[in-house]
Structure 1
Amino acid sequence: MNALPALPDSPGAYRWFYADVTAGEYSAVFIFMVGSLFSPRYSARVKRGALPLEHCAVNFALYHRGVSRRWVLSEYPQASVLRQGRELRIGRSRLEYAPDGTVRMEVDERCAPLGKAVRARLVLEPQVPAAEELQLVPGLPHFWRALAPRAKARLDVLSEDVSVEGIGYHDGNHGAELLGARLPRWHWARVHGPEETVVDYHLPDGVAPLRVTAGVLGTKSERRPLLSEARPTSLTGWGLRVPAQLYSGNTVVGTPRLLESSPFYARVEARRDGLDVMGEVADFRRFHSPFIRWMAHFRTRVERAA
């Protein structure tokens, strides 16, 4: 993909662009959001006609040996599309799709809510084709596409004097209604192995999971049969149910480390024997409760238009 898709323009709609990188002792996540799923303001105002472009956000997180080093979540009332549709600009941060297929994400923000300046850059060189776009739940307007399931990655966090290379992953989600309205939750994980990357998307209410497999034989998308037995789960300190183990196929990679934990969202990671798993658990209906929306304000910086 060398150009941005159309941005959403109706109340409750959203589109975001996600990327992560694993590089030695470091891992990092970049997300550019139009209609931010982390925004308590968007959640509260949708019924009054709030538009996704009024609630854009940039999220960046840096981890070292599984411990959070930096967290950025900055919300802006607008975004811009530049360079003949190849660049998304939110505040001072930007996402660019180059004509040669390279993906660049640059973050120039401050830690939430009142922290130090952060400058970070991720460059992805895709090594496999993009997957086809998949509808998460039949009949519901929510879609996911693995844009660069496996990529050569370079991470530079200029404000932390970090410069490392590793394996990257990039995808995008979009939908025409607020998450939590009819799609209550999901969890997903991507597994980088020595030669192949596998991404599994687990959905609620008996919906068969999705899988993308990417490697030397290309990229394959499929809807998998439901597991005959549910895999074990555990509760976080917030009472959010997360996988008790992270898997590569049927192989246990390890007990997930909680990179981020909140009442409605968790980011998890496990590594073992050349396998690296990172994933997310989200309960959108929890997020829309007034108390949790109030708590979310303390993890966010609200910025003026750039």
Structure 2
Amino acid sequence: MTIIAFIGSVFSPYYAKERRRAIVDPAQHCSINVAVYGRGAARWAMTERCRHALGATPEQLAIGPSSLSWDGTRLIVRIDEKAPVTGLPVRGVVTLEPEIRSDFATDFGTDGRHLWAPIAPRARVEARFDAPAISWTGTGYFDTNRGDEPLEDGFSYWNWSRACLSDSAVMLYEGTRQNGSKFNMGIQIAADGSVSPVELRERCDLPLTRYWKMPRETRVDAGHTANVEQTLEDTPFYSRSMIATHLLGEPVHAMHESVSLDRFRKRWVQSLLGWRMPRVTLQGSSRGVFGMSRDQIE
């Protein structure tokens, strides 16, 4: 499962269209993206909403009928969304309780234009959904990103992975900035929140995704390799996968993603995004692939 709350939906074709017109109001492009994976229980929702649907306080973020709230020890996410095209409901409550907390943050050498912070690199998660009817507990992860420019202006490509070790969490980030310079960062965050750099020189190329041929790679311990266990998302510019790998002396399972912002820039890619990202207007009507033509996106 992944849940992402956006103020300024970075992959929104509607937001990209406004930026091309120099109209920049992130609050006009808010959404909560929910992806639930599992045999017989897969659901995906990402409805974009306007400023009137946004409510934000230090303790709560509400976007439409869904919300995230912090009670001092736990993040409680209440989901009430609908899948695009099918209209199937995605409704439930997810509770995340940090096991490791961190104040680490980095801008990946962008002079502060982008910031990433793994707030809870390891957490205990409980999910209780009515639709689809699933219930489970497990480990999770909570981070935050913000930026003063579009992602595609700062980066050309990146891959990221996160894994839980026996007493810590490891995150790897590697990619190329738009100016052609490369970055490669690995960190290990211990139970007390202390951060240590991780230097892995062994690169492992993973198979291209099946449909859109997205490149995937990662770093592993010397003498070891990594394998894709499951491809969760295979899109023209983004992949999300579960991989089996070996990090800091331990065999682990990791969540992995790769993103091509150069692909995302292409208008034909953005014209496809309306299928998965309908937009609700102030009047309550919605637009999606059926209500937005190619020239409207451009």
Structure 1 segment 94-109 matched on structure 2, within 5 A: 94-98=67-71, 100-109=72-81
Query: What letter is aligned with 1:93?
Result: S
For residues 235 and 192 of structure 1, what CA distance do their matches in structure 2 show? Answer: 25
For residues 169 and 296 of structure 1, what CA distance do their matches in structure 2 show? Answer: 26
Query: What letter is aligned with 1:241?
Result: P
Structure 1 segment 101-250 matched on structure 2, within 5 A: 101-139=73-111, 141-204=113-176, 205-220=180-195, 222=197, 227=201, 230-236=203-209, 237-243=211-217, 249-250=221-222
Bigger Rg, which one: 2
For residues 288 and 256 of structure 1, what CA distance do their matches in structure 2 show? Answer: 29
Number of residue pairs aligned between Structure 1 and Structure 2: 272
For residues 209 and 135 of structure 1, what CA distance do their matches in structure 2 show? Answer: 12
Which consecutive aligned stretches of 4+ in structure 1 deviate over 6 angstroms post-superposition? none
The residue that corresponds to 2:237 in the other structure is 264
Residue identity over aligned pairs, in percent, reads 26
The residue that corresponds to 1:70 in the other structure is 43
The residue that corresponds to 1:9 in the other structure is none
Query: What letter is aligned with 1:208?
Result: F
Q: How far apart are 1:225 and its partner, in Å?
A: 5.5
The residue that corresponds to 2:291 in the other structure is none
TM-score by length of 2: 0.82
The verdict on how the C-alpha distance between 1:119 and 1:112 changes in structure 2, with shifts beyond 3 A counting, is same
TM-score by length of 1: 0.80
For residues 89 and 218 of structure 1, what CA distance do their matches in structure 2 show? Answer: 29
The verdict on how the C-alpha distance between 1:300 and 1:114 changes in structure 2, with shifts beyond 3 A counting, is farther
For residues 118 and 145 of structure 1, what CA distance do their matches in structure 2 show? Answer: 28
The residue that corresponds to 1:53 in the other structure is 27
CA contact (8 A) 2:229 2:243 kept: yes
The residue that corresponds to 1:302 in the other structure is 279
For residues 24 and 87 of structure 2, what CA distance do their matches in structure 1 show? Answer: 28
The verdict on how the C-alpha distance between 1:167 and 1:225 changes in structure 2, with shifts beyond 3 A counting, is closer
Deviations along 1:140-171, one digit per CA (max 9) or x if unpaired, are: 61110001100111011221221111101000
Query: What letter is aligned with 1:178?
Result: P
For residues 121 and 274 of structure 1, what CA distance do their matches in structure 2 show? Answer: 31
Mean Cα deviation higher: 296-305 or 229-238 = 229-238
CA contact (8 A) 1:187 1:201 kept: yes
Deviations along 1:85-107, one digit per CA (max 9) or x if unpaired, are: 21111111111122x23111221
CA contact (8 A) 1:129 1:219 kept: no
Q: How far apart are 1:253 and its partner, in Å?
A: 4.6
The residue that corresponds to 1:277 in the other structure is 254
The verdict on how the C-alpha distance between 1:216 and 1:190 changes in structure 2, with shifts beyond 3 A counting, is same
For residues 254 and 230 of structure 1, what CA distance do their matches in structure 2 show? Answer: 12
For residues 138 and 189 of structure 1, what CA distance do their matches in structure 2 show? Answer: 20
Alignment gaps of 5+ in structure 1: 1-27
Residue in structure 1 matching 2:14, options 37, 41, 46: 41
The verdict on how the C-alpha distance between 1:121 and 1:200 changes in structure 2, with shifts beyond 3 A counting, is same
CA contact (8 A) 2:204 2:225 kept: no
Mean Cα deviation higher: 51-60 or 271-280 = 271-280
The verdict on how the C-alpha distance between 1:253 and 1:60 changes in structure 2, with shifts beyond 3 A counting, is same
The verdict on how the C-alpha distance between 1:221 and 1:121 changes in structure 2, with shifts beyond 3 A counting, is farther
The verdict on how the C-alpha distance between 1:151 and 1:268 changes in structure 2, with shifts beyond 3 A counting, is same
